[in-house]
Amino acid sequence: MIVKWIKKHRVLTVLLFVFLYLVIGATAPFYHYKPVSGITKANTSASDFYQDGTGCDRAMILETNQSAWDERMRLMSLAKERIILSTFDFRDGESPRDIMAVMLHKADQGVKVQILVDGFSGLVRMERNSYFYALSSHPNIEIKIYNKLNLLLPWKTQGRMHDKYVIADDYGYILGGRNTFDYFIGSYPTNSRSHDREVLVYNTAHGTAGTSQSSLNQVEAYFNQVWDLDVCSLFHDDETLAEKDSVQKAAGVLRDRYDMLAKENPELLGWEMEKSASCGAPGQPACPALPIDPDINDDDQEILASIKPAPLAYYEEHTVPAGKITLVSNPTDIYAKEPVVFYTMTELMKSAREQVVIHTPYAVFNRHMYDALTEVTAHVPVTMMINSVENGDNFFASSDYPRHKKSFIQTGMEILEYDGGLSYHGKSLLIDHELCAVGSYNFDLRSTYMDTELMLVIQSPELTSQLEEYMDSYQADCRRLLPDGTYDIPEHITVAYVPFYKRAAWKVVGFVMQPFRFLI
């Protein structure tokens, strides 16, 4: 009977087989949640995240999308040897073209530029785009793709690189949750936008023997480890591409764009630091800022040099001291992962004496995660802020959360749901008044067990205080989930209207996705 049906419906049978091959192949490697290993437990101690006194690193929070644009421009303009960009999602757009323009300009000057992008974005966002080809065909620029998508091997398709950071020489780096497109960076007009958060770390010991003490070396070592993985492959590393008319035109547009940006933003771009063994160091005069644009005449150069501060002096003024800074990362392979970041964050929470505050766009837990947070709340108050389902931009997370509210309530955490209008994408952790963490890690199953993830743990009372103020400003626009499942809603909050069809879709998708929650 079955054989007869198959012969009669051969096309349908083939399609069904292909569908099952793709679905089972893509999900089977992740059905089992890896436990925390004994080695990780033995090597993780909250005391290791503290030190006596400050180090050579100073830090600042990048709370706005415009500050994210400004500081990328400022930081990359300093580079003389190497620029590194690692990002989950790199899309063409206004702010990305600004970033590409600076990178191409620096590459023209002899700076080595390395760009690492996740395979999904590489396929969907970068292929057949002349601007990315203009970069990849430059002799001083390399682009690599992490785990390039291949549907013939579906068991490899779910391994995603979710890291986001920028490094310039040994001056400093930016690390956090922002992807590289207009939704997260800059103030250009766009159909939608999201709140996010990053931290900039400035290495005051740059160019000296003491630079080896900077946390920048941890981030750079991590980048090199991922860059050298077998699953990372070059993206159109072909200099002959530069001969194509479309690519030449794109490169010309980017070079013209840099000239415009440098003239409009001389405090950020178009300046190099005069080489000196001491200028710009703590307690020393700021390095002079020298225009490198030949189109600026001598009189204008003198005026600009007299009124614009050197970038290094800017960092000294706008950053705060930090003690120990530690990079925490998940395993970097493409298959199911040991939950290193989650375990480390919860161990740090257990060391808290006064409070723990978690900010995550959405929360998707399994039993292990519920139990871990219940253990934390047993001895210290924990507040977790997430997007309300009406305010968030992740359809699947919004479908899952309503089905599990009771489990979150039972952990004892105070649950705040953000209703500020724009979706919130920040990933941060605050422990008492001295330790904080900022990075790419969402408190969900995908970030915990599937993706590469980073959290930068920073010991700094000053930075932690700043972060607490930012967190409080968001929490003022939240409704509080009560023990009985109802809400305490401040008078000034208007919960966004969601049409019936979307709420119905949440219920249906939430039910269907339960066996596949690990993908969320």
pLDDT (tens, 9 = 90+) of the chain, 520 residues, equals 666 656 666 778 778 888 888 888 899 889 899 999 999 999 999 999 999 999 999 999 999 999 999 999 999 999 999 999 999 999 999 999 999 999 999 999 999 999 999 999 999 999 999 999 999 999 999 999 999 998 889 999 999 999 999 999 999 999 999 999 999 999 999 988 999 999 999 999 999 999 999 999 999 999 999 999 999 999 998 889 989 999 999 999 999 999 999 999 988 985 543 333 334 444 444 444 444 444 555 555 554 444 444 688 899 999 999 999 999 999 999 999 999 999 999 999 999 999 999 999 999 999 999 999 999 999 999 999 999 999 999 999 999 999 999 999 999 999 999 999 999 999 999 999 999 999 999 999 999 999 999 999 999 999 999 999 999 999 999 999 999 999 999 999 989 899 999 999 999 999 999 999 999 9
Please say whether the dihedral angle defined by the alpha carbons of residues 459, 464, 467 and 468, taken in this order, is positive or negative: positive
User: What pLDDT is stored for residue 191 in this prediction?
Assistant: 87
Assigned domain for 302 exists = no
Cα of 447 vs its chain's centroid, Å: 12
User: What pLDDT is stored for residue 6 in this prediction?
Assistant: 62
Domain that holds residue 427: 35-51+324-519
User: Token pair of 78, please?
Assistant: 């300093």
- Is there a single domain that holds both residue 412 and residue 366? yes
From 243, 265, 287, give the residue that closes a domain.
265
- Is there a single domain that holds both residue 346 and residue 403? yes
Q: Is 77:102 a contact under the CB 8 Å cutoff?
A: yes
User: Token pair of 212, please?
Assistant: 């080896």
Q: CA dihedral defined by 171, 177, 182, 186, rounded to 10 degrees? A: -50
- Is there a single domain that holds both residue 224 and residue 141? yes
Assigned domain for 433 exists = yes
User: What pLDDT is stored for residue 19 in this prediction?
Assistant: 84
User: What pLDDT is stored for residue 274 in this prediction?
Assistant: 35
User: Is this structure's pTM higher than 0.85?
Assistant: yes
Assigned domain for 210 exists = yes
User: Residue 61: which CATH number?
Assistant: 3.30.870.10
Assigned domain for 446 exists = yes
- Amino acid letter at 200? L
Helix (H) or strand (E) holding 11: helix 10-27
- Is there a single domain that holds both residue 41 and residue 110? no
- Is there a single domain that holds both residue 64 and residue 152? yes
Q: Is 229 left (phi over 0), alpha (psi -120 to 50) or beta?
A: beta
- Is there a single domain that holds both residue 78 and residue 178? yes
> In sequence order, what are the residues at sequence separation of 6 or more whose Cβ sits closer than 8 angstroms to the Cβ of residue 213?
55, 56, 205
- Is there a single domain that holds both residue 334 and residue 478? yes
Cα of 391 vs its chain's centroid, Å: 20
- Is there a single domain that holds both residue 255 and residue 341? no
In the block, residue with structure tokens 């530690």: 326
- Amino acid letter at 402? P
User: Quick one: which of 373, 398, 372 has its CA closest to 386?
Assistant: 398
Assigned domain for 67 exists = yes
Distance CA 157, CA 413 (A): 35
- Is there a single domain that holds both residue 114 and residue 80? yes
- Is there a single domain that holds both residue 140 and residue 198? yes
User: What pLDDT is stored for residue 1 in this prediction?
Assistant: 61
Q: Is 76:83 a contact under the CB 8 Å cutoff?
A: yes
From 265, 289, 305, give the residue that closes a domain.
265
User: What pLDDT is stored for residue 279 in this prediction?
Assistant: 42
Assigned domain for 291 exists = no
- Is there a single domain that holds both residue 117 and residue 11? no
| Tally of domains within the chain | 3
From 265, 299, 315, give the residue that closes a domain.
265
Assigned domain for 300 exists = no
- Is there a single domain that holds both residue 183 and residue 83? yes
